[in-house]
Amino acid sequence: MGLFNLFNKEKKEVLDQGLSKTKESVFSKLTRAVAGKSKIDDEVLDNLEEVLITSDVGVETTLRIIERIQKRVSRDKYLNADELNSILRDEISELLLENNSSTTSDFSDPLQETPYVIMVVGVNGVGKTTTIGKLAHQFSKAGKKVFLGAADTFRAAAVEQLVVWGERTQANVIKQKMGADPASVAYDTVSSAKANGADVVIIDTAGRLHNKVNLMNELTKIKNVIQKVVPNAPHEVLLVLDGSTGQNAFEQAKQFTKATDVSALAITKLDGTAKGGVVIGISDQFKIPVKYIGLGEGMDHLQVFDRKNFVNSLFEQ
Amino acid sequence: MFESLSERLERSFKILKGEGKITEINVAETLKDVRKALLDADVNFKTAKTFTETVKEKALGQQVLTALKPNQLMVKIVHDELAALMGGSSVDINLKGSPAVVLMSGLQGSGKTTFSGKLANFIKTKRGKRPLLVACDVYRPAAIEQLRVLGEQLAIPVYAEEGNNNPVKIAENAVKHAKQQGFDVVIVDTAGRLAVDEVMMTEIAAIKKALSPQEILFVVDSMTGQDAVNTAREFNERLDFDGVVLTKLDGDTRGGAALSIRSVVNKPIKFVGTGEKMDALDVFHPERMADRILGMGDIVSLVERAQEQFDEEEARRLSKKIAKNQFDFNDFVSQIQQVKKMGNLKDLASMIPGMGKALKDVEIDNDAFKGVEAIIASMTPAERSNPALINGSRKQRIAKGSGTTVVEVNRLLKQFDQMSKMMRMATTGKFGKKRRG
């Protein structure tokens, strides 16, 4: 298939594998929704609502999708429910692609500036450190020199966890002791990376709930301090969201953006949940692109997100 | 927490305000909003549906009772149903056995390790037993180290076997060790796992078989979406767990998982995690949670927390002093210190009815008392025990010493004066008999 030329085969397999649970459940639900129906009536739409809401798409987005399908049905006089799948795929693709058409990038692409600084933020337990480990692995594999900054100085053994990832991925880890000022760790990391000619710097931060104002201010401070070393940094503020999170993900996206101008999202744990729906909802309501998705615990289970392929994988038969 | 759900419900109920009685027509719109509010709060789709239907039935059935306004009646019905949905009454953790074994289970990042530390601390301080923490997460980098650090902070021993990759064996050895060393409770922390991961699910089933734990807890992130129910169901099928722990409830505006899980797996929620500190753990009370969801506050929890911290002796001494009009700045400072011991000020304030909503975007500084404390610290012992001594030049000295201004000192003196008057009235019974503490 021509569409998948962008995506090499190995990657596609991981994506399919990881999403197979999502796919199965959206499919089986959808099949049930349209079973024995020859036209799209209120009952089919009700069932569709259930499918979307139980996939965490969210009430607002679900209503929008249904509205669009209703409009299209009345415009096209399209009555056969068998093709609901393809209509739905169209509509969701459109919601995802409408926002902005950020091109697919890859880890081996040349960087706009070195060191290219990525600051990673998110609530507790979403998988920030694991995502950083996977990113470090991908960048190292692509021949880039990677520095990691252990600015989570709060959670017990967070520094050790990052150090282990550094060993696994041949990345340098810059650290201070537990309880140290995270901004100071970030400053050290970026300075040291600059002095040593690193290509990529990834700053880990402590998980924090988005309603804790003081902790959110701390993030703003870390960001400002990084700018003192590299004026354009951070080039990317990556907000990590747990793929099994419900509607709270929207609030997280909102609050973290307020504190740090989040520029990209990473959605983790997509291998285990019946969703991925959260991706559709967030893409619909925020102008922040989803850049990476996590599909498992292995070092290779991280991919650059591609909307088209994502939707295709979701609805492919 | 739950602000948005209670706000939404409040708005829904406003539609009913002014109506004379609940009818099929005027309740329909409200119920639609209730359902939407529940779905937005991540309440399971089916649970939300059943819930609104139950509420509707109850509401229409109660038409006859006209003593209450319809919106009040709806609040009561929704409240009762919410509490019923979450399990009616609270269920305690089973710690019988020597040692009693508590096994943790849950997805990655749900907060098992942090909760293990909190539970050990709870068992040690509130139940007076000797807990042993066991590190069985042999997969995630530095997971064992994390538990070890927590154990050190809490002065609770941690059992770990460096280099052993078999969690079943580690757990078995830990229980043996606990028996020999006379520990009362063994808390087994495990790796996070997905319900669809067959190998990992088999592993935890094997741990269960080897240990026959008194208590298996399923730890779930309160921000989880619709999948919470499915995950809980799958873990329950494999482990037949005894209770649920809801974590990260301090940060959430929602928490619908709490509403759905019990109704779907029929297992009680036993604990909630409400912060990053090791004492941020509460026993789950369905009734209180329902109050909280509806914005009715959580006065009972507040009173309990106060009771825990306040020294009764001290309280009795104080009320005597107040009655005799001898309340002074020394007592005032000790009061401030006791309030501070009760925990985070915002948490405390949000337990007061109606405050949760008002405080949503307000950050209360835990240093709010700092200025006051500085002023009092700059007083001489004589001034502290007899505030009447404080004249103009003394005020100036106090302001200088505390880095404040005379205006601020005056304000504190005035507040103190009013406060002691109020207290005297309250204790001497002018406002009716009132117990302190």
Q: Which domains does chain B have, with CATH numbers?
A: 3-85 (1.20.120.140), 100-296 (3.40.50.300), 303-428 (1.10.260.30)
Residues B110/B220, Cβ–Cβ less than 8 Å: yes
Give the residue from chain A lying closest to B257, CA to CA. Answer: A246
Same domain, A94 and A121: no
Same domain, A131 and A255: yes
Beta carbon pairs, A and B, within 8 Å: 134
* Mean pLDDT of the A12-17 span: 61
* Mean pLDDT of the A101-117 span: 74
Has residue A105 been placed in a domain? no
Query: What ipTM is given for this predicted complex?
Result: 0.83
Domain of residue A223 covers 116-306
Domain with residue A268: its CATH number is 3.40.50.300
> Which H/E stretch holds residue B146?
helix B143-154
**Bond from prior residue into A234 cis (ω within 30 degrees of 0):** yes
Which CA distances in Å does B112 have to A64, B188, B422? 37, 10, 47
A126 touches chain B (CB under 8 A): yes
pLDDT of residue A15: 63
Same domain, A21 and A49: yes
Single-letter amino acid code for the residue at A115: P
Same domain, A30 and A62: yes
Best of A129, A211, A271 to disrupt the B interface (most B CBs within 10 Å) is: A211
Confidence of residue A314 (pLDDT cuts 50, 70, 90): low
Residues A274, B248: C-beta atoms closer than 8 Å:
no
Q: Using only the alpha carbons of chain A, give its radius of gyration.
A: 21
Has residue A109 been placed in a domain? no
| Alpha-carbon distance A245 to nearest alpha carbon in chain B (angstroms) | 4
Residue that finishes a domain, picked among A71, A98, A125? A98
A246 touches chain B (CB under 8 A): yes
pLDDT of residue A201: 96
B169 touches chain A (CB under 8 A): no
A33 vs A148, more confident: A148
Confidence of residue B263 (pLDDT cuts 50, 70, 90): confident
Asked if the model's pLDDT at residue B258 lies above 70, the reply is: yes
With beta carbons under 8 A apart, name residues in chain A contacting B227: 56, 244, 273-275
Query: Of B39, B145, B149, which has the smallest distance from its Cβ to A59's Cβ?
Result: B39
For B29-71, write each residue's pLDDT tens digit.
778 877 887 888 788 888 888 888 888 888 776 554 444 556 6
Per-residue b or e along B63-97, where b marks 16 or more CB atoms closer than 10 Å to that residue's CB: eeeeeebbbebbbebbbebbbbbbbeebbebebee
Residues B226, A124: C-beta atoms closer than 8 Å:
no
Q: For chain A, report the end-to-end CA distance as a whole number of angstroms.
A: 14
For B180-193, write each residue's pLDDT tens digit.
999 999 999 999 99
Q: How many H-runs (helices) and E-runs (strands) does chain B carry?
A: 20, 8
Strand arrangement, sheet containing A172-174: A172-174, A146-151, A200-205, A116-121, A236-242, A264-268, A290-294, A302-304
Same domain, A145 and A217: yes
Which CA distances in Å does B41 have to A48, B47, B240, B298, B411? 20, 12, 27, 20, 44
Asked if the model's pLDDT at residue B87 lies above 80, the reply is: no
With beta carbons under 8 A apart, name residues in chain B contacting A55: 226
A272 touches chain B (CB under 8 A): yes
Per-residue b or e along B122-148, where b marks 16 or more CB atoms closer than 10 Å to that residue's CB: bbbeeeebbbbbbbbbbebbbbbbbbb
- Lowest mean pLDDT: which of B197-206, B252-261, B305-314, B420-429? B305-314
Confidence of residue A221 (pLDDT cuts 50, 70, 90): very high
| Alpha-carbon distance B436 to nearest alpha carbon in chain A (angstroms) | 32
With beta carbons under 8 A apart, name residues in chain B contacting A247: 40-42, 225, 254
Determine what percent of chain A is predicted with pLDDT higher than 90: 41
Total domain count, chain A: 2
| Alpha-carbon distance A231 to nearest alpha carbon in chain B (angstroms) | 31
Has residue A249 been placed in a domain? yes
Confidence of residue B429 (pLDDT cuts 50, 70, 90): low
Residues A157, B257: C-beta atoms closer than 8 Å:
no
A245 touches chain B (CB under 8 A): yes
Confidence of residue A303 (pLDDT cuts 50, 70, 90): confident
Query: Of A59, A210, A213, which has the smallest distance from its Cβ to B36's Cβ?
Result: A59
A276 touches chain B (CB under 8 A): no
Same domain, A162 and A91: no
What residues of chain A, 62 to 121, have a C-beta less than 8 Å from chain B? none
Has residue A254 been placed in a domain? yes
B47 touches chain A (CB under 8 A): no
pLDDT of residue A224: 95
Q: How is residue B355 written in tokens?
A: 């405050």
Residue B219: phi and psi, rounded to 5, are: -95, 125
Residues A273, B110: C-beta atoms closer than 8 Å:
no
> Which H/E stretch holds residue B133?
strand B131-136
- Cα–Cα distance between B32 and A285 in angstroms, integer? 23
Same domain, A94 and A139: no
Write down the mean pLDDT value for chain B.
Answer: 80
A1 touches chain B (CB under 8 A): no
pLDDT of residue B373: 84
Has residue A314 been placed in a domain? no
Q: How is residue B299 written in tokens?
A: 């006065």
- Cα–Cα distance between B219 and B110 in angstroms, integer? 6
Residues B226, A123: C-beta atoms closer than 8 Å:
no
- Cα–Cα distance between A302 and A293 in angstroms, integer? 6
Asked if the model's pLDDT at residue A236 lies above 50, the reply is: yes
* Mean pLDDT of the B282-298 span: 67
pLDDT of residue B96: 92
Residues A245/A252, Cβ–Cβ less than 8 Å: yes
Residues A251, B253: C-beta atoms closer than 8 Å:
yes
CA B98 from chain centre, in angstroms, equals 29
- Cα–Cα distance between B345 and B4 in angstroms, integer? 21
Has residue A108 been placed in a domain? no
Confidence of residue A91 (pLDDT cuts 50, 70, 90): confident
Sign of dihedral through CA atoms A291, A135, B275, B81? positive
What residues of chain A, 148 to 207, have a C-beta less than 8 Å from chain B? 154-158, 160-161, 163-165, 178
Domain with residue A93: its CATH number is 1.20.120.140
Same domain, A53 and A133: no
pLDDT of residue B184: 95
With beta carbons under 8 A apart, name residues in chain A contacting B45: 50, 53-54
Same domain, A91 and A144: no
Residue B416's closest CA among B327, B287, B310, B297?
B327
Same domain, A137 and A211: yes
Has residue A89 been placed in a domain? yes
Residues B225, A213: C-beta atoms closer than 8 Å:
no
Residues 6+ apart with CB under 8 A from A74: none
Residues B252, A124: C-beta atoms closer than 8 Å:
no
Asked if the model's pLDDT at residue B321 lies above 90, the reply is: no
Alpha helices in B156-283 (DSSP H): 167-181, 198-211, 227-239, 256-265
| Alpha-carbon distance A266 to nearest alpha carbon in chain B (angstroms) | 15
Asked if the model's pLDDT at residue A99 lies above 50, the reply is: no
With beta carbons under 8 A apart, name residues in chain A contacting B108: 125, 127, 269, 297
Residues A246, B142: C-beta atoms closer than 8 Å:
no
Residues B145, A157: C-beta atoms closer than 8 Å:
yes
For A243-293, write each residue's pLDDT tens digit.
888 888 988 999 999 999 998 899 898 887 555 677 787 777 777 888 888
Same domain, A132 and A164: yes
Has residue A170 been placed in a domain? yes
Residues 6+ apart with CB under 8 A from A63: none
Strands A302-304 vs A290-294: parallel, antiparallel or unpaired: antiparallel
Best of A60, A169, A248 to disrupt the B interface (most B CBs within 10 Å) is: A248
What interhelical angle do B24-40 and B256-265 show, nearest 10? 100
Most trustworthy range by pLDDT among A22-31, B23-32, B36-45: B36-45
pLDDT of residue A46: 81
Residues B226, A251: C-beta atoms closer than 8 Å:
no
Same domain, A129 and A222: yes
Residue that finishes a domain, picked among A34, A66, A98? A98
Residues 6+ apart with CB under 8 A from B306: B342, B437
| Alpha-carbon distance A278 to nearest alpha carbon in chain B (angstroms) | 9
Determine what percent of chain B is predicted with pLDDT higher than 70: 72
For B292-306, write each residue's pLDDT tens digit.
555 554 545 555 555
